[in-house]
Chain A
Amino acid sequence: MKSAVILFPGINRENDAIAALEQATGTKPTVVWHGETELPKTDIIMVPGGFSYGDYLRCGAMAAKSPIMRAVAERAKAGVTILGVCNGFQILTEAGLLPGALMRNASLKFICKNTHLKIENTNTRFTNQYKTGEVVDYPVAHHDGNFFADSETLDRLEGEGRVVLRYCDANGVVDPATNLNGSQRNIAGIINEAGNVLGMMPHPENAIDPLHGGTDGRNLFKSLVEAAS
């Protein structure tokens, strides 16, 4: 099982991503520098979190124009599994691989805390190890995680089962009180039409070790391996 992690200047959660992928696949992922134009042949590509280009201009906007992103888009079209977390999600939306946009948190503040998430669709490459409706606990750490799309797009995402994760409470209740950043319909993660690209704001890679305080994130990476094997 081969994986790759894309590295843009300013990305800072690449080692967290590498640790999670290595734990799940048994092999260290290849790190690919943004200036490259070609990707090695891999089953999984992860775009990790951080502050690519310092979040200047708009989160993810400059990274989306990097040379390597053309190759990532080709792989997306070819059906390779692509996971974008946090800044990675922002980059994938800016690159047009996922719909919508991530705006500033409703609180206008950076938020780092654990949050409950409801797994809405387990019939994906990213969530096949979870039970439908399962409530998991991952941390978030972002300033711009407020998911926005027009209502037509949102209806379509919902109708096609493409809303994969939603902010909720410990009992799975999804309501405004459990919406930590103002996202439309509490959306924390979505997939593309073909189901091979997932973008999400929370950090499953920071919930893979009992010393992290929880291991709920492991099944997400296990799902990737399961789907690819």
Chain B
Amino acid sequence: MSANDFNTPITPELVKEHGLNEEEYKLVLEIMGREPNINELGIFSVMWSEHCSYKSSKKWLKTLPTKADWVIQGPGENAGVIDIGDGQAAVFKMESHNHPSFIEPYQGAATGVGGIMRDVFTMGARPVANLNALRFGEPDHPKTRHLLSGVVEGIGGYGNCMGVPTIGGETNFHASYNGNILVNAMTVGLADADNIFYSAAAGIGNPVVYVGSKTGRDGIHGATMASAEFDDDSDEKRPTVQVGDPFTEKLLLEACLELMATDMIVAIQDMGAAGLTSSSFEMASKGGVGVELWLDKVPMREEGMTPYELMLSESQERMLMVLKPGCEDAAKAIFDKWELDFAVIGILTDTKRMVLKWHGEVAGDLPIDPLAEASPEYDRPWEPTPKQDRIDPASISGKVSHVDALKTLMASSDLASRRWIWEQYDHLVMGNTIVRPGGDAGVVRVSGTNKGIAATTDCTPRYVMADPVEGGKQAVAEAYRNLVATGAKPLAITDNMNFGNPERPRIMGQFVGACQGIAEACIALDFPVVSGNVSLYNETNGVGIMPTPAIGGVGVISDLGHHATIAIKRDDSALIMIGAATGELGQSLYLKTIEGREEGAPPPVDLNAEKRAGTLVRELIELGLVRTCHDIADGGLLVAVAEMSLAGNIGADLHLPESGSEVAWLFGEDQGRYVIATRDPDKVLNAAGSANVAAVIIGQAGGDAVTIDGGAKVSLAELRQLNEGWMPSYMAEAAQ
């Protein structure tokens, strides 16, 4: 298409290529009052893509609780903002980059990290911690090593260069992700609570300014790609994946923060998915104003670019701002210092229309609100997932000894150490990392204070698959628990909803159920959603992923002198289990790995008990009574204790119950539980009694082995070899 070819005929094929169905195109004609030109069609296409419009999910996202006294900004901005006291705010969000990462793992993952950091510093916050939630296909799948290796390098390549520590995350392997990996990246930033920047444009006549990298042809239609299923030809979509430049983003970060320290910005928005289109429409729509854009003024990387390409490019490391009038020169000086492009590319108008000019000629003229706010909203048909029966412990064959089961689990792809991954991430830069990866939540110090921010990412997709409501609850509860286990008060979450094709009622039912579970947990735990992202159509050739609503949780530790880690620190400590054991083996790793059964009802979450246990544990840590704490999650009690022993290099002897199933006791994944180590068990048990929380001594720290009831044991050296050995040897096979 040549630069001035605005008159390309709009055929039904062209409309279909733009991902719009007949109904939607009718609405386009109605809104325009005429046939759109190609530029306008492209804009409708990306604005109404699932990725940008949330048309399938909106109805249900609205049901999530988003309020608390400490919430400064909930969903709807570039990132959520919470008050963390002392005039400071934490700004955070998690976002997916699934489709690009499958096609081109390094760049897909790298630009995912770059995009989420931009979302956070757009709001005036300096990023202080990165996390991620990754899902890959089964280890034996021929693509898994290549994807894992590329994604990890990409995340490290971008985050390390930006100088933001990657302090936590989670990684799962499962066949349902063979054709659709998930790469969810989260960033937490810190800002002054009274200096948060928003995206609503204001001030008729104010200049619209473009800063950052030049615009190229990369990523055109990325948002549309992210809104469709994959098929065998998806590799051909590689050109729609953007290429990241973390060095430029580091400069952009410093330049933006320098500008934000002045009083020149009215509104700012990063150019992420759907680039200039989405950023300009959102800013104008939120501010209730019109915009005239002079597209020929946009800094361009290549010659011969068209208005269509400029509006749809997803080139990275770019921002759009509205400045106060007369500030252009002073602002430009800052971007000159950082050697970044700075261009006035338009002006705010009172027309409530987006007028695109190309060398003075009108290249497009669209009403803003109908596109941005009145995009389609679907109430898609959905059906609930049939409930499964609880697993009766009597159905367990029990042919494997407890110690052998532990060894198998610790060396399995689900539980093996992720050190191979996180040692490739700079998790120490900024000099504030207090709890490193490998524990329950990562913790960074708020620079210059004794306060800490704890952050974690969590989801157990096999639970969500079996029961979307309980699984949704569990994801939130586990995030809550992981924060509590460091001594943090959990404050808010971001949700990254990864699902299959919402046009299938069963999949839509998973989404609806997960939202319901998340909402129930958020309310019960006083743990609202402040930001999020939805990624649908994670399917290849009609096979969907397990539903994966990844939850990113953030909490605050008021005094870092009193925080906890999972490592057992002294061999004269008693081990106490907080929370009640009920012996839930449904969907457990024991059932899957040892018995070869992926079935049963997942462990139910008692949210009231969860809250009571969480409050108790946090108070015990705050009082200094507990410095060692780990939540009981995948693998159950024995795995939790083994992880604590390995982290502290001090063994443990674990009692067996007097009655009931030993397998259910050792390997059940009952929720709402922690293991703590203490030298003052009576005090802890008394405190638990007063708080109406179940607590029982389950063993004793000491020695150099994990021992079961004074009998069978496995040395820490052997266990470490099994746990640490799996991933390096798995990845080493790739090189052969």
Binding site for B on A (CB under 8 A): 9-10, 12-13, 15-16, 19, 49-51, 53-56, 109-113, 139, 141, 143, 203, 205-206, 208-209, 211-213
Contact = CB atoms under 8 A, between A and B. Distances in A.
Contacts of A113: 423
30 contacts: A12-B250, A12-B429, A13-B163, A16-B429, A51-B160, A51-B163, A51-B246, A54-B161, A54-B246, A54-B248, A109-B153, A109-B424, A110-B157, A110-B425, A110-B426, A111-B423, A112-B160, A112-B423, A112-B425, A112-B427, A113-B423, A141-B428, A143-B160, A203-B428, A205-B431, A206-B431, A209-B431, A211-B434, A212-B428, A212-B433
A10 B246 CA distance: 9
A213 B433 CA distance: 10
A113 B438 CA distance: 12
Interface in B564-620: none
Contact of B424 (A55, A112, A212, A213): A112
B418 interface: no
Interface in B417-454: 422-431, 433-434, 436, 445, 447
Contacts of A50: 163
B246 A112 contact: no
B156 A110 contact: yes
Interface string B128-170: 0000000000000000000000000100110011110000000
Question: In terms of DSSP, what is the predominant structure of the interface of chain A?
Answer: mixed
B138 to A, nearest CB: 24
Interface string B338-350: 1100000000000
B520 interface: no
Interface of B: 153, 156-157, 160-163, 245-248, 250-251, 338-339, 422-431, 433-434, 436, 445, 447, 560
B429 A51 contact: no
Given A51-B246, A206-B431, A112 B426 contact: yes
Contacts of A12: 161-163, 250, 429
B702 to A, nearest CB: 22
A102 to B, nearest CB: 16
Given A51-B246, A211-B434, A110 B560 contact: no
Given A13-B163, A113-B423, A211-B560, A141 B429 contact: yes
B434 A10 contact: no
Contacts of A209: 431
B79 to A, nearest CB: 21
B560 A10 contact: no
Given A51-B160, A54-B245, A13 B429 contact: yes
A211 B445 contact: yes
A51 B247 contact: yes
A208 B428 CA distance: 12
A153 to B, nearest CB: 30
A211 B428 CA distance: 12
Given A112-B425, A112-B427, A212-B431, 12 more contacts: A9-B250, A12-B161, A54-B161, A54-B245, A54-B246, A110-B160, A112-B160, A112-B422, A112-B423, A113-B423, A206-B429, A212-B434
Contacts of B434: 211-212
B246 A9 contact: no
B132 to A, nearest CB: 15
A127 to B, nearest CB: 21
Contacts of B425: 110, 112
A213 B422 CA distance: 17
Nearest to B251: A9
B423 A54 contact: no
B431 A51 contact: no
A109 B248 CA distance: 22
Contacts of A141: 160, 426, 428-429
Contacts of B153: 109-110
A16 B431 contact: yes
Contacts of B447: 15
A54 B429 CA distance: 16
Contacts of B436: 213
Give the one of B163, B246, B447 with max A CB within 10 A.
Answer: B163
Contacts of B245: 54
Contacts of A13: 163, 429-431
